């Protein structure tokens, strides 16, 4: 099904096999080089690709500089890794001028980031072209950290992604960090009785120590997957089961009856058909990577990823 969808959209495996045969290896080596000095670029590039695809499709519109572009919006402003894409593009332009799109670089870099954090690789169809429209206001379509599961499901369904895709792709939070200001409200006066009751009570005090009430460190970074933030694995789902999800929207994957069984399948709960997180993640990423792609005469191949030709 995924292959049919891919080819129907105009992307395909090995799109650059004759026009730029080293394209994928150039992207891979660039991501590896930056990762060695700054591991935060791995979750950054993964998030960047997701945020790109959910706004105007996977067309690298998130990379465009300028006032009021997607890159300037709060969800995108502090994502690490934009320089990695720029670096890869510079090298690709030297090797194959005007051939490889920024959208494809981002899709490949997201895959390479998972591999660098001990996740499994998958084949990335390529052939996307770059978009010309980038508006900060359009990022309101991105799922939010307080969002209900029903609302998240609708946003995913609008792009042809089902509930399993939702749980799988949110599982990308197995790597990376978030800021205190995006979840500290759960720790104090969430209800009349105090903290969010879905958080394990022993965990609350740990988080309060990191993010004091009315503290000045709202920008402090906290691991999204406690105890395994640098490794692409299923510990994120274990933490949800144990009431240790950091973002409210993440923890809801466990408390909501429609998504909990999928989390349990990733955890290998007896009586349910087990799902392999690494395998399913690759499948869901291929589906997501075909949202609204521009091919053929649509879009352009940007010579510099931060500027429209």
What residues act catalytically? 51
Q: Is 117 annotated as a binding residue?
A: no
Q: Is 61 annotated as a binding residue?
A: yes
Q: Judge whether 64 and 103 are in contact, CB under 8 Å.
A: no
Is 104 annotated in a binding site? The answer is: no
Residue 67, marked binder = no
Q: Are 213 and 188 in contact (CB under 8 A)?
A: yes
Least Cα distance to 167 among 30, 275, 88, 33 occurs for: 275
- Is 168 labelled a binding residue? no
Instruction: State yes or no: 173 annotated in a binding site.
Output: yes
Query: Is 143 annotated for ligand binding?
Result: yes
Residue 174 is assigned to a ligand binding site: yes
55 labelled ligand-binding = yes
Is residue 4 annotated as involved in ligand binding?
Answer: no
| 121 marked among binding-site residues | no
Which residue positions form the known binding site?
A: 52, 55, 57, 59, 61, 70, 143, 173-174, 225, 233
Q: Indicate the annotated binding residues for substrate.
A: 143
Binding region for Ca(2+): 52, 55, 57, 59, 61, 70, 174, 225, 233
């Amino acid at each position: 099904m995924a292959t049919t969808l891919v080819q129907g959209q105009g992307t395909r495996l090995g799109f650059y096999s004759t026009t730029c045969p080293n394209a994928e290896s150039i992207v891979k080596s660039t991501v590896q080089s930056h990762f060695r000095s700054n591991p935060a670029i791995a979750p950054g590039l993964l998030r960047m690709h997701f945020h790109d695809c959910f706004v105007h499709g996977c067309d690298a519109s998130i990379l465009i500089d300028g006032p009021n572009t997607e890159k300037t919006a709060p969800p995108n402003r502090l994502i690490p890794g934009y320089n990695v894409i720029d670096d890869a593009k510079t090298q690709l332009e030297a090797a194959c001028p005007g051939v490889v799109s920024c959208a494809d670089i981002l899709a490949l870099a997201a895959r390479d980031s998972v591999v660098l954090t001990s996740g499994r690789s998958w084949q990335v169809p390529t052939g996307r072209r770059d978009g010309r429209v980038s508006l900060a206001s359009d990022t309101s379509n991105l799922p939010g950290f307080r969002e209900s599961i029903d609302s998240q499901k609708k946003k995913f369904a609008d792009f042809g992604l089902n509930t399993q895709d939702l749980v799988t792709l949110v599982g990308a939070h197995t790597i990376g960090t978030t800021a205190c200001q995006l979840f500290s409200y759960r720790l104090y006066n969430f209800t009349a009785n105090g903290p969010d009751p879905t958080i394990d009570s022993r965990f609350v005090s740990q988080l309060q120590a990191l993010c004091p009430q009315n503290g000045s460190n709202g920008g402090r970074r906290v691991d999204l997957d406690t105890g395994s933030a640098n490794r692409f694995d299923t510990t994120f789902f274990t933490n949800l089961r144990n009431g240790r999800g950091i973002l409210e929207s993440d923890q809801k994957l466990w408390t909501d009856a429609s998504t909990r069984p999928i989390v349990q399948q990733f955890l290998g709960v007896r009586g349910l058909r087990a799902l392999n997180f690494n395998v399913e993640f690759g499948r869901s990423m291929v589906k997501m990577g075909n949202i609204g792609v521009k091919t053929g005469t649509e879009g352009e191949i940007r010579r510099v990823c931060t500027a429209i030709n």
